[in-house]
Amino acid sequence: MNSVKTAEDIMVSIGDYGTIPETATVFEAIKALRQSFHRDGKAWYGHRTVVVLDSRGKLTGILTLRGLLRAAGFRELDEDKGLKAESWGWYYTSQLREEMGIKVRDIMRPIELATVKSDTPVTEVAQALLRYGVNSLPVFRANELVGIVRTLDVFMVIDEYFK
């Protein structure tokens, strides 16, 4: 009989993950996340998240590709001719332009929202991913970040639970 796998057994080590300071801009975050991607033929592969660190180098959040795409939506509003045609549109878009210096801390997922311990069984990791509605969870061992577990990591071992 197989032993129960844990988050630590299937996670991606934190050393294999990109990091970025919480004070970085969205543009800098896009560049950092892109560095994790590579192409194999036509498809792109890589992490869909980057670890966000505070000024002391401690984990403060996770920045997801989805969060970056939401932030990019602000720029689309700035270029919307219909919005600018409205009497209040010019004011709104000029305010938006001033705030385009969006920082990573403004769009990241705070770490307190969803984490697991390194000894958490994979079945509980799967439940946590579903409960929190996320695709990745930071993994902690004795209050130290050791890795990230993703839905893909759970998927790759899920067949063991149906034998």
Confidence of residue 46 (pLDDT cuts 50, 70, 90): confident
Token pair listed for 120: 């958490």
* Cβ(103)–Cβ(25) below 8 Å: yes
Sorting pLDDT into bands at 50, 70 and 90, what band is 93? Answer: low
pLDDT of amino acid 139: 94
> Does pLDDT of 77 surpass 80?
no
pTM recorded for the entire structure = 0.73
Pick the CATH number of 7-162 from 2.30.42.10, 2.60.40.420, 3.40.50.300, 3.10.580.10: 3.10.580.10
Percent of the residues in the chain that have a pLDDT greater than 90, as a whole number? 30
Strand partners, 52: 20, 61
- Residue spans of the domains in the chain: they are 7-162
**Tens digit of each residue's pLDDT (9 = 90 or more) over 56-74:** 988 899 988 878 777 766 5
Quickly list H helices, the chain.
Answer: 7-10, 26-34, 65-78, 81-85, 89-98, 104-107, 122-132, 151-155
Take residue 42 and report the two structure tokens written for it.
């036509």
Strands 49-53 and 19-21: parallel
Residue 101 has pLDDT above 50, yes or no: yes
Mean pLDDT for the chain overall: 80
